[in-house]
Amino acid sequence: MNTIEQLYQTLDQRRRPEDVAEMIVELMSRQLAIHELATLNKAANRSLKNSVYGYTSMLETFGKAIGADKQIKKAVEIFKIDEKENSNYYSADRIETFLKEVSPLIHKEVGENNFKSDRLNKDLRKLAGLDISKRNYNKKWRLLKRIEIRLQKFIHESKKLELQKIAKHGLSHTISFEDFSKDLNTACFIAYFNARSNLRSTFTNQSQERPFDEICEMLFNRCLKNPDETQWEAISYIYTDAKVLEYLSDEQKGKLLGKWMAILQEISDFLEELWNENDIYRKTMAVKKGNDSTTWNNTAGAWNKARDNWMNLIYALDLDFILDDICFGKVMRLMAADVIAWHLSTGGKIDPNTEVWNLVPLPWEVFQERIFCNKEMIVNACKEAGIDPEKSGWIAPRIHGVSQFKPTPELVHGVTVSNPFLAKILRQNKYFSGKL
């Protein structure tokens, strides 16, 4: 029997919507009307438990940043430190604390890692009371340096992982269990919409599947029917639609706006760093050899998600006059050249959003107030590119429809494969990866 605790765990996973729907059926079947259960079963009947294969080749978790557990265990052995049982070092704070506690044992300053100038010579070691050989000292010094390097890599990888999650589902992975579990309708909507939002992109020359489907609509309508019990603030962490925000106080909306502003600031700095590191062809946004397209696209997705939420909130707070003074645009993802060629060969043209991207200043330069850009400039750019600035989400909250439920495809680098076992073999042999 599935529990609400298990449903909560899916917020930080990439479970298929069908499997989350099955969990919801087990939790809510007695509370659902016949037509609601029929809608939910469109997905639940296709869960792994109910499928012929009972298996998916696609990872059901996000990646994981590698901490310094291995290196610190070695340091504990070499420094002969009494370590607490069950201690682990998979958080930046714990790794940093370890370094601050252990580095003074050999009079090493954290952050000073120049092998020539930052080590103590024989006389300085003697003066510091270090009665150890040069070889022993160097071994400990190098190990602490490696732990510091691992810490910086861990922080960097953790940031990339966090931005990948934000790009997919906003802040749902930060919702507390207490807020999630207060109301079952709230929990079920958040969990299913989260699973839909985490779907992988498919290799296509058409638009991607929109996450808000008929099952989301049914679950959300149950929340609307019971507004007093619904935890609207928790829902706003993943879904900042106007219907949700009207149930939040101005203070709650203001706090959420502050969260998204802080996230935009962090993403802004990281985007600039990536832009300077990658030789990106801005005109077409076609990926080139050497471009870190995965990191760029995840970060661009996080920016656009944060920007959408920021836009929704400033309109909800009647602060849209801000856009007359500052309005930063979207960030375009890098596209595979063969997808662009496929699109053009079927009568399409370069995405008009990319045209707007080329006409307005870089968003992070605007956000950091180094270059001026406002609503009027973006409206003019949209008109020149032939798109509606409001419907396209450049200057107003993005409007979405309700899509029909479609079974989750088994994907290998975006290409649909009918059999999950075949998909695993194709992935292992790098088919459709562009590396063959």
Are 120 and 128 contacting, i.e. CB atoms less than 8 angstroms apart? yes
Question: What length does the chain have?
Answer: 436
User: Which phi and psi angles does 213 have, rounded to 5°?
Assistant: -105, -175
CA nearest 363: which of 274, 279, 286, 239? 274
Tens-digit pLDDT string for the chain (436 aa): 568 999 999 999 999 999 999 999 999 989 999 999 999 999 999 888 877 666 677 777 888 898 899 999 999 999 988 776 557 787 899 999 999 999 999 999 999 999 889 999 998 988 889 989 999 999 999 999 999 999 999 999 999 999 999 999 999 999 999 999 999 999 999 999 999 999 987 655 556 679 999 999 999 999 999 999 999 999 999 999 999 999 999 999 999 999 999 999 999 999 999 999 999 999 999 998 889 999 999 999 999 999 999 999 999 999 999 999 999 999 999 988 766 666 565 666 778 999 999 999 999 999 888 999 999 999 999 999 999 999 999 999 888 889 999 888 776 655 665 556 556 666 666 655 555 4
Alpha helices in 83-229 (DSSP H): 92-102, 122-127, 134-169, 177-181, 184-197, 214-225
Task: Residue 300: count other Cβ atoms within 10 Å of its Cβ.
Answer: 23
What is residue 409's predicted lDDT score, i.e. its pLDDT? 78
Lookup: tokens for 36: 């609601």
Exposure on the CB side of residue 369, measured as CA atoms within 13 A: 2
Alpha helices in 368-412 (DSSP H): 375-385
- Distance from C-alpha of 185 to C-alpha of 225, rounded to nearest angstrom: 10
Residue 184 amino acid letter:
L
Question: How would you classify residue 81: left for phi > 0, otherwise alpha for psi between -120 and 50, otherwise beta?
Answer: beta
CA nearest 298: which of 431, 157, 406? 157
Compute the C-alpha angle 307/238/335, nearest 5°: 50
% helix, strand, coil for the chain, step of 5: 55, 0, 40
Lookup: tokens for 159: 């940031």
CA nearest 56: which of 409, 406, 432? 409
Lookup: tokens for 304: 């656009």
What is residue 200's predicted lDDT score, i.e. its pLDDT? 82
- Distance from C-alpha of 328 to C-alpha of 313, rounded to nearest angstrom: 15
Question: How would you classify residue 343: left for phi > 0, otherwise alpha for psi between -120 and 50, otherwise beta?
Answer: alpha
Are 26 and 45 contacting, i.e. CB atoms less than 8 angstroms apart? no
What is residue 206's predicted lDDT score, i.e. its pLDDT? 58
Are 378 and 329 contacting, i.e. CB atoms less than 8 angstroms apart? yes
Q: What is the DSSP string of 226-281?
A: STTTS-HHHHTTT---HHHHTTS-HHHHHHHHHHHHHHHHHHHHHHHHHHHHS---
- Distance from C-alpha of 320 to C-alpha of 375, rounded to nearest angstrom: 10
What are the boundaries of each domain within the chain? 17-57+178-225+406-436, 69-163, 240-400
Task: Residue 168: count other Cβ atoms within 10 Å of its Cβ.
Answer: 23
Q: What is the DSSP string of 8-37?
A: HHGGGB---HHHHHHHHHHHHTTTS-HHHH
Q: What is the DSSP string of 115-150?
A: TTTSS--HHHHHHTT--S-HHHHHHHHHHHHHHHHH
DSSP 8-state code for residue 151: H
What is residue 332's predicted lDDT score, i.e. its pLDDT? 96
- Distance from C-alpha of 249 to C-alpha of 122, rounded to nearest angstrom: 65
* Orientation angle between helical segments 17-28 and 214-225, nearest 10 degrees: 30
